[in-house]
Amino acid sequence: MLELDIVHAAVRSIYEAAASPDLWPAALQAIADCFGDIGTVLMWKRDDGGFGTIVSPDLEAAQADYMERWWQHDIRAARGVELWFRGGFDTATDRDVVSDDEVRQHPIYTEFLVPHGLGWFAATYVAPDPHVYAVISVQRRQTKPRFSDEELRRVAVLGRHVEQSLRLSIRLIDAEFTARGLANALAAMSVGVFGLDRAGRITMMNTAARGQIGYGIQVIDNRFDLQYEKSRSIFKIAFSELVESENIPEPKKMLVHGLDDNEGAVVYLIPVGSAEMRAGALAAPTRVLVLVVPFGRGAPLDPSIVRDLLGLTLNEARVAALVGCGLAPRAVAERLGITEETTRTVLKRVYSKTGISRQNELAALLSGLNPK
């Protein structure tokens, strides 16, 4: 199978797992196959303290050993969060968190990774929900060299697809998808879901989506559209990029003016199906899934939205969203599990990137992201 075909297969597996969570181990293996590596770990944590992991099949034995004996000794994980916040990046590998001497001598490498045939890792942070923080970590075979910069970029792209698949999966699970079946789950969701074909015609919509028509969203000749000119222009460009791309397109997201006087909405555009389907196959006419997620004014913006619109890293966006909502740096540090010093360091970087210098200016900037 050609390299591009392998990546296409991985993306297809990632989105299949959205509706069938039991397919996540296979999807994680498909991600590892893009690099010819052993497997992939998906680790997630909720802001209420809940956390968990999913691993591809070939990592099950290593994961069991890790959870039983090694998790407290993993210097990579212990340093990862703080260093990634300070470093200003979302995708990292061993060289970003440990020294060469530690790779040669530390027990996490010599006594855990080596016996399991594991070597380097390449990980990227994703934010599938404002209350959920996750990371995917590709585990390299011990005999292979370190991850290249190009491979790290590929991990980041695949991570964006995982982010959107998890976003949809979370919504389906919230609607008791496993008990109701897909059609009933979509009907029960409070999030508007529209399916669009290559021409932008609506192939399906759930009950919440019908209720959103007329409040920032309009349907003309059975085509999905947004009511406000700036939002409409941004949406059309994003939609065209998804359906016309010859390569694997990244999911898109944008903010739109309120569904009513008190709410805005985040619109997610998620590609559906393989490259062949997007090129015009007759079967499965839905090419793009559009999720319309309302949010209350004054609530922290979704960090992934802040990341994309302001050109920040995900960690910078997490700090910015909370500070911009009125939290003090100390409170932000406690919520994110980092030091106040690190929070202030990240905040200075946010100010530098956005050309502002005060918290009230950040609040005004985030408020102004909502286009009309």
C-alpha atoms less than 13 angstroms from C-alpha of 318 in its C-beta half-sphere: 31
Long-range contacts of 78-84 (CB under 8 A, 24+ apart): 80/123, 81/337, 81/338, 82/338, 82/339, 82/342, 84/125, 84/315
- The reported pLDDT for the residue numbered 177 is 38
Is the predicted pLDDT of residue 184 greater than 60, yes or no?
Answer: no
pLDDT above 90 coverage of the chain, percent: 36
pLDDT-derived band at 368 (thresholds 50, 70, 90) equals confident
> Two tokens at 125?
């942070």
- The reported pLDDT for the residue numbered 213 is 87
Q: What is the mean pLDDT of residues 147-176?
A: 81
Domain 303-367 has CATH 2.60.120.10: no
Q: Are 68 and 109 in contact (CB under 8 A)?
A: no
- The reported pLDDT for the residue numbered 180 is 42
Which of these, 366, 218, 368, 201, lies nearest to 292 by C-alpha position?
218
Q: What is the mean pLDDT of residues 343-347?
A: 93
Q: Which of 8-22, 93-107, 260-274 holds the top average pLDDT?
A: 93-107
Strand-pairing partners, residue 290, are 194, 269
- The reported pLDDT for the residue numbered 281 is 37
CA distances from 132 to 193, 304, 306 (A): 21, 11, 15
Q: What is the pLDDT of residues 113-150, one digit of tens each?
A: 999 999 999 999 998 877 788 899 999 999 999 999 99
> Two tokens at 334?
């406690």
Of 169-178, 220-229, 272-281, minimum mean pLDDT range? 272-281
- The reported pLDDT for the residue numbered 181 is 46
Same fold, 3-174 and 178-296: yes
pLDDT-derived band at 326 (thresholds 50, 70, 90) equals confident
> Which CATH topology does 3-174 take?
Beta-Lactamase (3.30.450)
pTM over the 0.75 mark: no
Q: What is the pLDDT of residues 50-62, one digit of tens each?
A: 778 899 999 999 9
Please tell me whether residue 259 adopts helix, strand or coil conformation.
Answer: strand
- The reported pLDDT for the residue numbered 18 is 78
Domain boundaries, given as residue ranges, for the chain: 3-174, 178-296, 303-367
Which of these, 101, 59, 97, 107, lies nearest to 77 by C-alpha position?
97
Cα separation, 112 vs 119, whole angstroms: 10
CA distances from 226 to 194, 233, 308 (A): 13, 9, 20
CATH number of the structural domain 178-296: 3.30.450.20
pLDDT-derived band at 248 (thresholds 50, 70, 90) equals low
